[in-house]
Amino acid sequence: MPRLVIVSNRVALPRQTSTGGLGSAMHAATREQGGLWFGWSGKLAEHSGAVLHRQQHEQVDYVTMDLSRTDHDQYYAGFANRALWPLFHYRAGLVEYRRANMEGYLRVNELFADRLLPLLQPDDTIWVHDYHLIPLGALLRQRGVANRIGFFLHTPLPAAGLLIALPRHQELLGSLASYHLVGLHTERDQRALDDYFLHEAGARRLADGRLQDAAGACFRTRAFPISIDTGKVARQAERASRGLKIRQLRDSLGTRALVIGVDRLDYSKGLPERFKAYGRLLDRQAGLRKQVSFLQIAPHSRDTVPEYRQLRHQLERSAGHINGRYAEPDWTPISYVNRSFPHQLLTGYYRVARVGLVTPLRDGMNLVAKEYIASQDALDPGVLVLSRFAGAAQELDSALLVNPSDTEEVTEALETALSMPLQERQRRWRPMYEHLCRYDVNYWCKDFLDTLRQQPTGAIAPATV
Ligand code: GDG
């Protein structure tokens, strides 16, 4: 089997706790067939890419490079996280476009291409991940790489009408045509990309369903909903639930129901709206006070981006306000924790929680929703309250689906979840769990890579990025 080369902004090194969704999925892929994983080390140095750090574990070579402060600020904090991330999450008002940042983004993508090139072998299958590295495929083609290259976008993709607001969108998004396969989480995201190419970039649809851009490059787009290692999460949760920490949590709850939220601290996750809905619940249902506790775990992320710092302060105020208003000496309504926990412990918390509250304003997929389902006890499962705007809602359709901006709707869903009889909880949970057992992360990887390896090679026009 050809070697698999994974390229992503960050590399989840072995034995490192990662709070991103990509890490867990990729370990599963590389474990199977071995290969190379290339990316940024997460560290800063005087010069970008001056040395490559190498590590080998099981069958995988991990190769990373440092970035200079300027490259980091322009490529990562600037263009990727202040222009592309908000745009792709439908938050046009938060987009901060600066030409220097876009140039930094292209420069770092060039550096990725230059440093990766000597590490490649002719029959490698290359899999590039996420919005940080959109132009990488085209830049590798310019350097003569003819291998099969696939790209997977982990964020949503908004409608073409919004995408064209990005200066130089043709250059950026048009470069996707250099991949053989472009994967997205949902059919809605795929439609958005197809529409963009067909209506804004002069592409046409070929008889075999692929797209051909104006320069003649042919590529396939398709939805591949990412998933989790369902069996592993279920086993972890079962084991964790017998551990000391989880027994202590159960004891401290007594008969109170636990509502849990677990998210990277990010404005796409709808946390202020969620806190508001929980506050409204306590306001409307005085009888529920002291009967329910909300645990929100939200490890910090992207602290160098101003919007994330503002969000932190907003949430601290909001949690403080709710606790100040409703807490009793023997009851804290919200426990708001900004630390990261070992994953196994997290699955134990999911299992104790009567309600999983997952209400992003937009989310490519949302693995927490899937982990919550996988962690439940079949005899006494909890209820998932899930935003319609998470990609996961396409599959987890027997959850209580809500519009996260509709405070009343989220509050009502919480009420329904907290009073749901056992039979209905089981009836809703079972099909979602069975779906996740069948469509787990291994299925996702295999499906993407099989599809990539089936794509015809050749007819890839040199790209113009
Ligand atoms: C992006 C897209 C897409 C969270 N807190 C802790 C912790 N986590 C783990 C969760 C889960 C992962 O992080 C988060 O994944 P999500 O999918 O929920 O969200 P993003 O990080 O935004 O991921 C998303 C994903 O990529 C994959 O394509 O689904 O839409 O935005 O696995 O359990 N893990 C540990 N401690 C924590 O405190 N160990």
Question: Is 273 in the same domain as 211?
Answer: no
Task: Indicate whether residue 418 lines ligand 1 (CB < 6 A).
Answer: no
Task: Establish how many alpha carbons lie within 13 A of residue 309's alpha carbon, considering only the half-sphere containing its beta carbon.
Answer: 4
Question: Is 142 in the same domain as 255?
Answer: no
| Residue 356 domain-assigned (yes or no) | yes
| Residue 300 domain-assigned (yes or no) | yes
pLDDT digits (tens, 9 = 90+) for 175-190: 999 999 999 999 999 9
Question: Is 221 in the same domain as 339?
Answer: no
Question: Is 141 in the same domain as 271?
Answer: no
343 Cα nearest atom in ligand 1: 39
Indicate which CATH number applies to the domain containing 203.
3.40.50.2000
Q: What is the full DSSP assignment across 10-55? A: E---TT----SHHHHHHHHHHHHH-EEEEEEEEEE-SSTTSSEEEE
Question: Is 322 in the same domain as 393?
Answer: yes
One of 71, 189, 266, 363 is an active-site residue; which one? 363
Number of domains in the chain: 2
Question: Is 293 in the same domain as 434?
Answer: yes
- Mean pLDDT, residues 430-441 taken together: 97
Report the separation in Å between the CA atom of 87 and the middle of ligand 1, taken as the mean of its atom positions: 20
Ligand 1 pocket, mutate which of 22, 361, 368 (most atoms under 8 A from CB): 368
Task: Establish how many alpha carbons lie within 13 A of residue 209's alpha carbon, considering only the half-sphere containing its beta carbon.
Answer: 9
The answer on pLDDT for 19 being more than 50 is: no
Task: Establish how many alpha carbons lie within 13 A of residue 341's alpha carbon, considering only the half-sphere containing its beta carbon.
Answer: 19
Report the separation in Å between the CA atom of 50 and the middle of ligand 1, taken as the mean of its atom positions: 31
Question: Is 268 in the same domain as 312?
Answer: yes
The closest residue, in CA terms, to atom 23 on ligand 1 is 21
The closest residue, in CA terms, to atom 13 on ligand 1 is 19
Question: Is 244 in the same domain as 113?
Answer: no
| Residue 16 domain-assigned (yes or no) | yes
Task: Indicate whether residue 23 lines ligand 1 (CB < 6 A).
Answer: no
Joined together, the tokens standing for residue 367 give 């693995």
Task: Indicate whether residue 346 lines ligand 1 (CB < 6 A).
Answer: yes
Question: Is 338 in the same domain as 266?
Answer: yes
Report the separation in Å between the CA atom of 369 and the middle of ligand 1, taken as the mean of its atom positions: 10
One of 154, 180, 185, 343 is an active-site residue; which one? 154
User: Is 180 a catalytic site residue?
Assistant: no
Report the separation in Å between the CA atom of 207 and the middle of ligand 1, taken as the mean of its atom positions: 38
| Residue 201 domain-assigned (yes or no) | yes
Q: If pLDDT is split at 50, 70 and 90, which confidence band does 22 have?
A: low
Question: Is 275 in the same domain as 172?
Answer: no
pLDDT digits (tens, 9 = 90+) for 263-315: 999 999 999 999 999 999 999 999 999 999 999 999 988 877 788 889 999 99
> Could you tell me the residue range of the domain that residue 323 belongs to?
230-438
Question: Is 273 in the same domain as 375?
Answer: yes
> Please, what is the Cα angle at 20 between 395 and 449, to 5 degrees?
60
20, 263 Cβ separation under 8 angstroms? no
Q: If pLDDT is split at 50, 70 and 90, which confidence band does 57 have?
A: confident
The closest residue, in CA terms, to atom 28 on ligand 1 is 154
Task: Indicate whether residue 299 lines ligand 1 (CB < 6 A).
Answer: yes
368 Cα nearest atom in ligand 1: 18
User: Is 154 a catalytic site residue?
Assistant: yes
Pairing label, strands 400-402, 211-212: unpaired
| Residue 410 domain-assigned (yes or no) | yes
Task: Indicate whether residue 362 lines ligand 1 (CB < 6 A).
Answer: no
pLDDT digits (tens, 9 = 90+) for 36-49: 999 999 999 999 99
Joined together, the tokens standing for residue 124 give 């490698």
pLDDT digits (tens, 9 = 90+) for 76-116: 999 999 999 999 999 999 999 999 999 999 999 999 999 99
The answer on pLDDT for 30 being more than 90 is: no
CB atoms within 10 A of CB 253: 16
